[in-house]
Chains A and B, each alone.
Chain A
């Protein structure tokens, strides 16, 4: 997705490249906020009003998602406020949480209004409906968040391990995550699942997006991982091609939205 940024006297603001009416097929205020925070010098931030502006409840506390993904610290009396317009998808970082002035925005990418409506409706149905999706326990989601969102890896006998593991072959517990992987990796292989072949949790959106693309990548420090591709409407992946990662919506389940990293073709 990446973002369009706007600086005003009262703060710095961002929208998706689609403008202030849509954040793309798997974006929202939170994914825009994370990219905006990553692009600014980290400090402390308050998020109360921002959390209230979110359309759906995230599966983990917003503070944990922010702190897993960025170097910002969420504190009640933080130096800055994370804010969002209730009437549009503009997100800002400001020292004032009651803004009267928002930026005039333009959209870099156009979008099909009908597709936007269909995808928004699919999310609504997916989040509120009875899920047939895979069940990953809430505690497992929380424990893995620094790795899932922040690419934090373990190190065991000089070998970098990601996703995190428990015991090594000697039966010793592998130390907690401490190394951050590069935000770039190289494609080892890829596939595009047709709507029929996609997992059930993506069954509503996959037909609208023409399927689900997945890449298996290798990080320069050794670990491999699988990621869904995002924003790949106009590109076909190739083996050895580089990708970078952004946090996006993964799927909705039990009235919650789960977030994770997706790969973008470089």
Chain B
């Protein structure tokens, strides 16, 4: 079966963006195509998958057609992919499957979200409607609430405290400080992160990612074309996806994400790799507790040891076996929902090609993983990339 390579990747800066949807998307696409070493242009694209929740309801229908129209992909077969915060992780998987199946040779996957031009109330409405609206939301829950429920239960079940989450926050802010694409570029001390304003007890402001605007795009090609575009393609070695019950109360465990476990098992199996062979992982730390769970569900830490992993600084850049969220993660780099998944792929693409800012480079990075979760864990896409085919 055909192998798939990533030959280009680009994104806007994540944050409070002055541009609208068309401007942000065209910038991400422009950067993705200009990152391809040899001649490659948008009119060569055969299929495009764009992840977005269409936050705020702006251009809810036919978003993808509008975006490709304004990015040189006029006439391309395109669609919006929606799986909440995992939208572009799934767009990436759809693009990968399209090439694997032989239906197309050059495919764009990307994502976009505009979150910061809404009133606070409308923003909270849109942040809540990817959860279980019928039961969880009517019990007063938004995502900070569901992750807070998880965090408190995690502390109860294992030897962990909120301080472990503070370590995650401090690390990701440290990683994101030098990332020019990051939303929150500020070093945060342990004491400051520990004393943040309470959002959803026990989670404070420093446990929560920001709401960001942004767009990201990657270019995938079939193996026979990879070296036409670059001498250093990044190979998609594995892709896996899974789902779980939408509502937390319907899941057997409150402290594990089954969707992550299913997705990562498939991705590792396909890549024929083990967790200890991953050099860097961009994991979905929408809330700090989510990173603790991810390190366990992805196999970097044992069950109940994610807090210890964070406490010991094992995910810090170039300090442990795996660097977790070298970009700063959602916590620092930002979380423009639909753009996050392919934004993670952009970071891994640059890290594996040793093209990030020198202070951020993960040493000897050969294999990277992306982990993109929808909502409180109803959906998850995991991808594994490598310099070697």
Q: Which B residues lie within 8 Å of A201 (CB)? A: 137
- Please tell me if the beta carbons of A191 and B149 are within 8 angstroms of each other in the complex: yes
Q: List 17 A-B contacts (CB under 8 A).
A: A132-B122, A132-B124, A134-B125, A136-B133, A140-B134, A189-B254, A191-B149, A191-B201, A191-B203, A193-B144, A193-B148, A194-B198, A200-B124, A216-B149, A216-B248, A223-B249, A226-B136
0 or 1 for each of A192-213: is its CB under 8 Å from B? (1 = yes): 1110111111110000000011
- The reply to whether the CB of B188 lies closer than 8 angstroms to some CB of chain A is no
- Please tell me if the beta carbons of B140 and A198 are within 8 angstroms of each other in the complex: yes
- The reply to whether the CB of A133 lies closer than 8 angstroms to some CB of chain B is yes
Question: Which residues of A in the span 197-244 have a Cβ within 8 Å of any Cβ on B?
Answer: 197-203, 212-214, 216, 223-228, 239
Question: Which residues of B in the span 127-155 have a Cβ within 8 Å of any Cβ on A?
Answer: 128-129, 133-142, 144-145, 148-150, 152-153
Q: How many residues of B contact A (CB 8 A)?
A: 36
- Please tell me if the beta carbons of A214 and B125 are within 8 angstroms of each other in the complex: no
Q: Which A residues lie within 8 Å of B137 (CB)? A: 134, 199, 201
0 or 1 for each of B248-284: is its CB under 8 Å from A? (1 = yes): 1110001000000000000000000000000000000
- What distance in Å separates the Cβ of B125 from its nearest Cβ neighbour in chain A? 4
Query: Which of B122, B128, B152, B203 has a CB less than 8 Å from the CB of A134?
Result: B128
Give Cα A215 to B247, complex, Å.
14
- What distance in Å separates the Cβ of A96 from its nearest Cβ neighbour in chain B? 38
Question: Which residues of B in the span 95-139 have a Cβ within 8 Å of any Cβ on A?
Answer: 121-122, 124-125, 128-129, 133-139
- What distance in Å separates the Cβ of A220 from its nearest Cβ neighbour in chain B? 15
- The reply to whether the CB of A62 lies closer than 8 angstroms to some CB of chain B is no
Least CB separation from B156: chain A residue: A239
Give Cα A80 to B368, complex, Å.
71
- What distance in Å separates the Cβ of B341 from its nearest Cβ neighbour in chain A? 25
- Cross-chain pair count, CB within 8 angstroms: 114
Given contacts A193-B140, A199-B124, A203-B121, contact A226 B135 (CB under 8 A): yes
Q: Which B residues lie within 8 Å of A213 (CB)? A: 140
Given contacts A192-B200, A193-B200, contact A214 B141 (CB under 8 A): yes
Q: Which B residues lie within 8 Å of A197 (CB)? A: 142, 144-145, 199-200
Q: Which B residues lie within 8 Å of A224 (CB)? A: 249-250
- Please tell me if the beta carbons of B135 and A198 are within 8 angstroms of each other in the complex: no
Query: Which of A144, A200, A227 has a CB less than 8 Å from the CB of B134?
Result: A144
Query: Which of B134, B142, B203 has a CB less than 8 Å from the CB of A199?
Result: B142
- Please tell me if the beta carbons of B199 and A193 are within 8 angstroms of each other in the complex: yes
Least CB separation from B141: chain A residue: A214
Give Cα A199 to B203, complex, Å.
16
0 or 1 for each of B74-88: is its CB under 8 Å from A? (1 = yes): 000000000000000
Give Cα A133 to B140, complex, Å.
11
- What distance in Å separates the Cβ of B29 from its nearest Cβ neighbour in chain A? 33
Give Cα A115 to B107, complex, Å.
59
With contacts A163-B135, A225-B135 known, what are 13 further pairs, Cβ within 8 A? A132-B121, A134-B133, A140-B134, A192-B198, A193-B140, A194-B198, A198-B124, A199-B125, A200-B124, A212-B140, A214-B140, A214-B145, A214-B149
- The reply to whether the CB of A19 lies closer than 8 angstroms to some CB of chain B is no
Q: Which B residues lie within 8 Å of A12 (CB)? A: none
Most chain B Cβ neighbours within 10 Å, of A133, A144, A163, A189: A189
- What distance in Å separates the Cβ of B117 from its nearest Cβ neighbour in chain A? 15
Q: Which B residues lie within 8 Å of A258 (CB)? A: 138
- The reply to whether the CB of A56 lies closer than 8 angstroms to some CB of chain B is no
Given contacts A216-B249, A216-B254, A250-B138, contact A194 B200 (CB under 8 A): yes
- The reply to whether the CB of A252 lies closer than 8 angstroms to some CB of chain B is no
Given contacts A214-B145, A226-B249, contact A134 B129 (CB under 8 A): yes
- The reply to whether the CB of B60 lies closer than 8 angstroms to some CB of chain A is no
- What distance in Å separates the Cβ of A232 from its nearest Cβ neighbour in chain B? 12
- The reply to whether the CB of A251 lies closer than 8 angstroms to some CB of chain B is yes
Given contacts A144-B134, A203-B124, A226-B249, contact A193 B149 (CB under 8 A): no
Given contacts A197-B142, A197-B144, A198-B142, contact A239 B152 (CB under 8 A): yes
Which 4 pairs, one residue from A and one from B, show the smallest C-beta to C-beta distance?
A191-B148, A189-B153, A226-B139, A212-B140
- Please tell me if the beta carbons of B200 and A191 are within 8 angstroms of each other in the complex: yes
0 or 1 for each of B193-209: is its CB under 8 Å from A? (1 = yes): 00001111111000000
- Please tell me if the beta carbons of B124 and A226 are within 8 angstroms of each other in the complex: no
- Please tell me if the beta carbons of B128 and A200 are within 8 angstroms of each other in the complex: yes
- The reply to whether the CB of A188 lies closer than 8 angstroms to some CB of chain B is yes
- Please tell me if the beta carbons of A226 and B248 are within 8 angstroms of each other in the complex: yes
- Please tell me if the beta carbons of B152 and A191 are within 8 angstroms of each other in the complex: yes
